[in-house]
Chain A
Amino acid sequence: MTPHFGLPEFGFLLRGLQWTVLLTLVAFVGGCTAGLAVALLRTCGHKGVEWITRIYIGIFQGTPLLLQLFVVYYGLALTGLKLDAFVAVAIGFTVNASAFLGEIWRGAIQAVPRGQTEAAMALGLHYSSRMRDIVLPQAIRISLPATIGYLVQLIKGTSLAAIVGFIELARAGQIVSNQTFQPLLVFGVVGAMYFILCWPLSWWGSRMEARLALASQR
């Protein structure tokens, strides 16, 4: 007797959705913090440091997220630390986010007109004040559409945690699908849940992009 897709199954998917949201939030907050450091190092003006961060970003952009996850997951296991699966995948996504957000913000920092930095220097502001008060507030505005775009990527990317066995939304869908033998219905519902999560963000991002483009035309 196989169970049909009903309320208990739907509840199981919802719990998976909670883990997807939590995983995304942890990775995004962690990735923002580390990504800011990456972006600042990438634009610090020291050739060697810039090169190293460039290679760091290049490695994450040039390899599949799934493999990055495998390497972090099994690499952490080798260190002998007994880590929860959630912590292991969260670290994996955080590291990935740091590289992608770092590159997005690098572009935004460099897109702030050079005259702003020069004017700040002429006023005698030192590096931290120049960045905090002059460059970064403008860069954040420029980078917002791309940052939101990456957030959508991250939500979708967390589905890969399913492959290393962490039970988030996609893995919950696999489990329910195997139990009920109704794969189309189950993956349809799972897809709809991801869509409800991602689509408003995508819409917000593209609207903001259009407004920024309009503002720069004036």
Chain B
Amino acid sequence: MGYTLDFSVVWHAMPALLWGCVGTLGLALAGMTLAMVIGVAGVAARDSKAAWLRALVIGFVEIVRNTPFLVQIFFLFFALPLIGLKLNPTATAIIALGVNGGAYAIEIIRGGVQSIHKGQVEAGYALGLHKGQVFRFIVLKPALRAIYPSLTGQFIMLTLTSSICSAVSAYELTSVAQRIESDTFRSFEVYFSVTFLYLAISWLLMLGFAVISHRFFSYPTR
């Protein structure tokens, strides 16, 4: 007996799926914010004078980058309650995404800071800029310009990775899809459509980031 595809179930579930998209974006945004905090703190600790602190950061980065996110989120899911953090699945997922993204952010931000030559800062002072101006125009803007592509790429990666958070049933698009699938048994139709919802999300993000980059980081032409 042949199988006839029926996408009407997806159409009926569209409001729930769109809310799932919102959930995914919220999860990714919260995770990325935490990742940035870990990233900045990590860079400071990575170049500190204390050897143990440097070793700690290097160890953290290597462990996170060489183990699967799925295992990380399972580990945190059971480890967080032990240190007194009894959180709901979505909060657990945010922490897992933040920890995972943080390790990558450390490497990215560190690269950006290292891309600013000391001579440029000195040149800024020699031109009579004061401290705030040197930081803003000589250090911050070029550093951001240098890491912007990797950082936004990382954000899109994080958004796609957040689908794995469905394994601890955090509220996001894939877990919404799994619920609809178990209600309707239309596995292929549901997952096929949801894949393209993710594609739409990452294309919109890419477009948005390109617009921002054009607005803030393009070199002055005059």
Q: What residues of A have a CB within 8 angstroms of the CB of B161 in the complex?
A: 64
**B78 interfacial contact with A, CB 8 Å:** yes
Interface residues in B34-82 (C-beta closer than 8 Å to A): 62-63, 65-72, 74-75, 77-79, 82
**B164 interfacial contact with A, CB 8 Å:** yes
Given A59-B199, A66-B163 in contact, is the A187-B66 Cβ separation under 8 Å? no
Interchain CA distance A67-B100 in the complex, whole Å? 20
**A8 interfacial contact with B, CB 8 Å:** no
Interface size class of B (residues with CB under 8 A): 35 or more
Interchain CA distance A170-B167 in the complex, whole Å? 12
Q: What residues of A have a CB within 8 angstroms of the CB of B166 in the complex?
A: 66, 163
Residue in B closest to A190 when the chains form the complex, CB atoms = B71
Q: Which of B69, B70, B188, B196 contacts A78 (CB 8 A)?
A: B188
Q: Which of A59, A63, A70, A159 contacts B70 (CB 8 A)?
A: A159
Taking a contact as CB atoms under 8 Å apart, the answer to whether B70 and A67 are in contact is: no
Interchain CA distance A118-B124 in the complex, whole Å? 45
Taking a contact as CB atoms under 8 Å apart, the answer to whether B192 and A75 are in contact is: yes
Q: Tell me the total A-B contact number using a CB cutoff of 8 A.
A: 112
Taking a contact as CB atoms under 8 Å apart, the answer to whether B174 and A66 are in contact is: yes
**A62 interfacial contact with B, CB 8 Å:** yes
Interface residues in A59-106 (C-beta closer than 8 Å to B): 59, 61-68, 70-71, 74-75, 77-78, 80
Q: Contact mask B85-122 → A, CB, 8 Å, 1/0?
A: 00000000000000000000000000000000000000
Taking a contact as CB atoms under 8 Å apart, the answer to whether B199 and A70 are in contact is: no
Taking a contact as CB atoms under 8 Å apart, the answer to whether A188 and B75 are in contact is: yes
Taking a contact as CB atoms under 8 Å apart, the answer to whether A75 and B71 are in contact is: no
Interchain CA distance A182-B191 in the complex, whole Å? 33
Taking a contact as CB atoms under 8 Å apart, the answer to whether A67 and B163 are in contact is: yes
Interchain CA distance A162-B70 in the complex, whole Å? 9
**B148 interfacial contact with A, CB 8 Å:** no
Q: Contact mask B141-173 → A, CB, 8 Å, 1/0?
A: 000000000000000100011011011000000
Q: What residues of A have a CB within 8 angstroms of the CB of B174 in the complex?
A: 64, 66-67
The prevalent SS among residues of B at the interface is helix
Taking a contact as CB atoms under 8 Å apart, the answer to whether A156 and B191 are in contact is: no
Interface residues in A119-155 (C-beta closer than 8 Å to B): 152
Shortest CB distance B205–A (Å): 9
Q: What residues of A have a CB within 8 angstroms of the CB of B70 in the complex?
A: 159-160, 162-163, 170
**B194 interfacial contact with A, CB 8 Å:** yes
**B213 interfacial contact with A, CB 8 Å:** no
Interchain CA distance A77-B192 in the complex, whole Å? 13
Residue in A closest to B65 when the chains form the complex, CB atoms = A202
- Which of A26-34, A46-54, A107-115, A192-200 lies on the face that meets chain B? A192-200
Taking a contact as CB atoms under 8 Å apart, the answer to whether A194 and B66 are in contact is: yes
**B202 interfacial contact with A, CB 8 Å:** yes
Q: Which of B62, B67, B68, B191 contacts A71 (CB 8 A)?
A: B191
Shortest CB distance A199–B (Å): 5
**A117 interfacial contact with B, CB 8 Å:** no
- The 6 A-B pairs at the shortest CB distance, nearest first, are namely A159-B68, A64-B163, A198-B66, A183-B78, A70-B191, A62-B202
- Cross-chain pairs A/B with CB under 8 angstroms, 10 sampled: A62-B160, A62-B203, A63-B196, A63-B198, A163-B70, A163-B166, A183-B77, A190-B71, A191-B75, A202-B65
